[in-house]
Amino acid sequence: MADILQIVVLGIALGGVYALMASGLTLIFGVMRIVNLSQPIFIIVAAYISYFLFRLYGLDPLLSLPINAIVLFFLGLGLYKLVLEREAASARYSEMTVLLTFGIALCVDGLLGTLFSNTQRVTTPDYATDAVILGDVFLPKGWLYAGIASIVVIGALVLFLHYTRFGYAIRATTQNRDAAQLMGVNVGFVCLITFGIGLALAGAAGALVSFVFSFFPAKQWDWIAILLALVVLGGMGKLHGMIVA
């Protein structure tokens, strides 16, 4: 019984991190039908930002989370405008984005490998090697803090989508793009900002990944299958379903 409880506790804590990692992917697909295979490599980009902020300035990864989110948000805006926006009207846009984002992932992977090599790295705040022990069950503090931070960020995203005017526009675009446009929603602008938000979520996840996992550029290929499985299992583009998955 203790073993089962241990597995459940660890699974919930780690599941929160995976949910945050996949949330940007499912949001982007729901609004724009972009299958963003580059999402994991941008999580690793954010992990490197947190890693070097910790090594050079002693900044806790949890405190670097908003910095990562802001940096990746603006990176997402630039990426969408330069690469993904021009073919948005194509009938085969989803299929094209698979190739485009796969190419982006390869390019960023190569760049990171050149700059930092494929040496495994991990951020080591004090709590990363400590644990909470309750009877026969233990929970690493790093996993606990990462799980809580993931729940907070995802909760903020859900509130944003359900209780803000722009959140209504995102949900309307997800449900019916043409109808949303007829109702006065600037679909192009919604897509741009949503892609930025999707990468901002990758940035937030990267801060947590930096101390929960060891990472290196090629680690992204291990995560693509996991994140896509969560998105598909939860229902393509359905945030609540992905969280449950």
CA neighbor of 121 nearest in space, from 81, 61, 63: 61
Q: Which of 69-83, 94-108, 183-197 has the highest mean pLDDT?
A: 69-83
Does 13 or 198 have the greater pLDDT score?
198
Does 115 or 178 have the greater pLDDT score?
115
| Residues 81-98: tens digit of each pLDDT | 988 887 666 667 777 888
Torsional class of 135: left (φ above 0), alpha (ψ -120 to 50), beta (otherwise): left
> Residues 148-177: what's their mean pLDDT?
89
> What's residue 90's pLDDT?
66
> What's residue 141's pLDDT?
84
Which amino acid is residue 122, in one-letter code? Answer: V
Torsional class of 151: left (φ above 0), alpha (ψ -120 to 50), beta (otherwise): alpha
| Residues 141-162: tens digit of each pLDDT | 888 889 899 999 999 999 999 9
Q: How many helices and strands in the chain, by DSSP H and E?
A: 10, 2
| Residues 9-47: tens digit of each pLDDT | 778 878 888 889 999 888 888 887 888 889 999 999 999
Which amino acid is residue 209, in one-letter code? Answer: V
> What's residue 225's pLDDT?
85
Structural contact between residues 134 and 2, judged by C-beta atoms closer than 8 angstroms: no
pLDDT at 237 over 80: no
Contacts of 3-12 with C-beta under 8 Å, sequence gap 24+, read 5/136, 5/137, 6/136, 6/137, 6/138, 9/137, 9/139, 10/139, 10/143, 12/147
> What's residue 211's pLDDT?
92
To the nearest 10°, the Cα dihedral for 58, 59, 60, 62? -170
> Residues 60-88: what's their mean pLDDT?
90
CA neighbor of 61 nearest in space, from 185, 194, 198, 211: 211
pTM of the model: 0.91
| Residue 234 to residue 232: CA distance in whole angstroms | 5
